[in-house]
Every structure is written in C-alpha cells, then in structure tokens.
Amino acid sequence: MTLPTEFLVHVAELLERLGIPYHVGGSVASSAHGMYRASADIDFVIDPTSDQLEALVHALEPEFYLSHSAMVEALAHRSTFNAIHDETSFKIDFFIKGAAPFDEEELRRSIRQVVGDEPGHTVLLKSPEDTILRKLEWFRRGGETSERQWQDALSILAAARGRLDEAHLERWSRELGIADLLDRARQQVADL
C-alpha cells in the first residue's frame, strides 16, 4: 500500500473501532468516483461525541500532532481540525459533520469501498452523487472560479453516467441552490 492509503485505512479502522460515524470525501472520493487527482491530504467527515473525540485524540497522539483546543473548538462550532503525521508531515483533515439536513443525508448515504492492494481493506466513501453536489456547492461558494472543484464534478458525472441516482441529485441540487450548476455540468458532460 502507498503511504496515503496506509493512513486512509489506519484512520478509517480507528474511527470504526471507536464507533465514530464517518466518511471520506475530498480528492479521495473524487478520485474513486471520477478521475484520479493527487492530493496532499485526506478529508474525513466525522460525527463524534465529545468522549469519542477524546478517545480519537488518545489513539492518534502517538503518531500525529493534534491541537486539543482546535479539536474542542471544531466540535463546538462544527468546523475542522487536522492531524499531522510526526514522521512524514502527511495531513489528515477532520470535518465535524454539519447540522443541515443535507449533512445528515450525506453521511447516511456513505458507501463502503475496497481500497489498497490487499483484500479486506475497506473505507466508507461519500457517495458519487453527494460528492458531485458538494463539489458544485464549493464551486458556487468560491465564486465559481475553482477549476479543480468544477473538473472533479464533471469527471464524476462522466465516469458514473447512467449509474447515478438522478432523483437525489435533482432534489438536493434544488435545496442547495445549485440546480443551475448541475444542469450546466450535465450539459458540458453530454457535449463531450
């Protein structure tokens, strides 16, 4: 296994052992559902209790630098904190699950996927539909200038053509205020 995959599997197994609901998003999910894109970190969305978060700190501390105050603040404000591997400086970003209905739905719809070269290593990934929706939402929030977010959404739409839950995409794109972006992305993929 490559170093990022080792971290991915290690942290996912740790989260599962601690009973912390999670899924992997960001470039890992984009690459799994669309076109591969290298990244310098791994993004986990987690929904821990304060006790579970404390247990996560104790489990990661021997190998990772973590700011305890950043973790407490992230839990209180549903924001983010990171863990940096002591030996390699590899970064893992932890996003505390938001409180909006889509945040709940997104975590509920996570899919288990095999990762790495060895059988038996699986992680929960954000679904392709929810990865598309989040990428389009971030594209909108960033003033529609992030080529990376746009290309990630397009690559997933193209790779998963005919296998996506279109009703889910329609419903949540309307609720998130990005239906126009989804239509534009679909049109661009259709024109390829």
Give pLDDT tens digits for 84-98: 999 999 999 999 999
For the residues 108-128, what does the mean pLDDT come to?
89
Share of the chain above pLDDT 90, in %: 81
Q: What three-state secondary structure class fits 121?
A: coil
For the residues 108-126, what does the mean pLDDT come to?
88
- Whether residue 1 is predicted with pLDDT greater than 60 in this model: the reply is no
With bands split at pLDDT 50, 70 and 90, how would you rate the model's confidence at 2? low
For the residues 51-75, what does the mean pLDDT come to?
94
Q: What pTM does this model have?
A: 0.93
The pLDDT of residue 191: 85
- Whether residue 46 is predicted with pLDDT greater than 80 in this model: the reply is yes
Contact 136, 122 (CB under 8 A): no
- The rounded distance, in Å, linking the Cα atoms of 140 and 134 is 10
- The rounded distance, in Å, linking the Cα atoms of 74 and 76 is 5
What pLDDT, in 10s, does the model give residues 144-181?
998 999 999 999 999 999 999 999 999 999 999 999 99
Contact 126, 23 (CB under 8 A): yes
Write out the DSSP string of 54-103: HHHHHHHTTTEEE-HHHHHHHHHHT-EEEEEETTT--EEEEEE--SSHHH
For the residues 14-25, what does the mean pLDDT come to?
97
For the residues 63-79, what does the mean pLDDT come to?
94
Amino acid identity, position 137: E
Sheet of strand 64-66: strand arrangement: 64-66, 80-85, 91-96, 41-46, 22-24, 122-125, 111-114
Check if CATH label 3.30.460.40 holds for domain 4-125: yes
The more confidently predicted of residues 68 and 108 is: 108
The pLDDT of residue 3: 65
